[in-house]
Amino acid sequence: MKRDSVSQALASALGELVREDILELKAYHVAPATGMVKLDAMENPYGLPPDLREAVGAVAASLPLNRYPNPNAPELKARLREAFALPADMGLLLGNGSDEIITMIAQTLARPGAVMLAPEPSFAMYRMNAIYSRMRYVGVPLAADFSLDVGAFLEAMQAHRPALIFIAYPNNPTGNAYAEAEVLRILDAATGFVVLDEAYHAFAGKSFMDRIAQYPNLMVMRTVSKLGLAGIRLGYAVARSEWIEQFDKLRPPYNVNVMTQFVAEKVLSRLDVLTLQAERIKAERAKLFAALATFKGLEAFPSEANFILVRVADANKTYGEMQARGVLIRNLHGGHPLLDQCLRLTVGTPEENQRLLEALQESV
Ligand SMILES: *Cc1c(COP(=O)(O)O)cnc(C)c1O
């Protein structure tokens, strides 16, 4: 084919073959961060201590990289169960990040016409996965102070009979954990499957893990990403094994690779290191919040996660000026009406937070 006809044939093939809803989607955007103070993605800013790094290096050196991983990751599962005191009588599902677990659940429950329900604004991947799996997504707006509008949520449950409900607890990007009694009202009323996404568990110290025994259709999902291991991509979810068996059918057999399995096992044998870092982050969160509270022209929202949501006069302008000053944060303006003029600040090291505050002072 001639060059012109090749590009014409490509354009028409894309237009004819790619699903229309995928053509319309925008890919998940990650801002370039080289040389920046990176406070946009809720990463733990502290690396591993030297002795643990060396131990990880020794593990990596001894791995059989020529072999497929064990698809069931029994050692890692045992380590997770022990480290996080997971209920022994429940099933455990591992994902290449909890993102992959969201995908497996949505695909499993995506019967024709099935509805996914979630409070809004919340984690963007819920809605994305509804689109991928062709579930009908229904978002229920939070109250203006980002608390749950339980009445509206229960009404939406009545009206749409959702097969799947996602509740991030604490919520991303708002940082608050809803009142426990309100979440329980939702669990009591739910006829579908409910996932409590506890990605920020380490910073909240609250959990619904103990409630799984009480609710047959409840899953508690977590990740090691925010705890300090975002790079190895490991999420885990706990629910009755009857549920896990079904989701497991959609799991790519080698989804948790050899490096992840063995490095996670090693690092989680020293969970105390990560827990201590989480405690430091919580202490820094309190300091950062107190400092932000003194700013004029800025409203900071209380957080039980490792980030703080703020509202400024002109989010686009502040975001741009922060970026020019070498501090990368997340601009949420335009993403949802409730996030009007909002920016999300990840809690960093004391030095990073100082630079954040200085840059913010000059930018609001
Ligand atoms: C970050 C985040 C996740 C994704 O975690 P990974 O395990 O890194 O895929 C899931 N849910 C919420 C609410 C998050 O903020």
Could you report the per-residue pLDDT of 291-306, keeping only the tens digit for each? 999 999 999 999 999 9
Q: What is the pLDDT of residues 54-64, one digit of tens each?
A: 999 999 999 99
Separation of CA 169 and ligand 1 centre (Å): 11
Please state which of the ranges 23-27, 279-283, 311-315 shows the lowest mean pLDDT.
23-27
| Beta bridge pairs of residue 164 | 116, 193
- Region for residue 331 given its phi and psi (left: phi exceeds 0; alpha: psi -120 to 50; beta: otherwise): beta
- Residue 21: how many other CB atoms lie within 10 Å: 10
Separation of CA 139 and ligand 1 centre (Å): 18
Residue 175, ligand 1, Cβ within 6 A:
no
Q: What is the pLDDT of residues 192-224, one digit of tens each?
A: 999 999 999 999 989 999 999 999 999 999 999
User: Using CA atoms, how far apart are residues 143 and 146, in angstroms rounded to an integer?
Assistant: 5
CA-171 nearest atom, ligand 1: 13
Residue 123, ligand 1, Cβ within 6 A:
yes
Q: CB of 121 within 8 A of CB of 135? A: no
User: Using CA atoms, how far apart are residues 58 and 344, in angstroms rounded to an integer?
Assistant: 37
Nearest residue (CA) to ligand 1, atom 15: 172
- Region for residue 273 given its phi and psi (left: phi exceeds 0; alpha: psi -120 to 50; beta: otherwise): alpha
Q: Which of 283, 313, 319, 307 is nearest to 295 (CA)?
A: 313
Whether pLDDT at 175 is above 80: yes
pLDDT of residue 1: 77
**Averaged pLDDT, 70-99:** 98
pLDDT of residue 190: 98
For residue 124, give Cα distances in angstroms to 8, 94, 173, 262, 277: 34, 21, 9, 30, 27
Reported pTM: 0.96
- Residue 216: how many other CB atoms lie within 10 Å: 11
Q: CB of 310 within 8 A of CB of 332? A: no
Is residue 168 within a helix (H) or strand (E), and if so which, with residue range?
strand 164-168
pLDDT of residue 51: 96
4 — pLDDT class (breaks 50, 70, 90): confident
In one-letter notation, the amino acid at residue 135 is: M
CA-305 nearest atom, ligand 1: 15
Q: What is the pLDDT of residues 307-363, one digit of tens each?
A: 999 999 999 999 999 999 999 999 999 999 999 999 999 999 999 999 999 999 998
- Residue 311: how many other CB atoms lie within 10 Å: 17
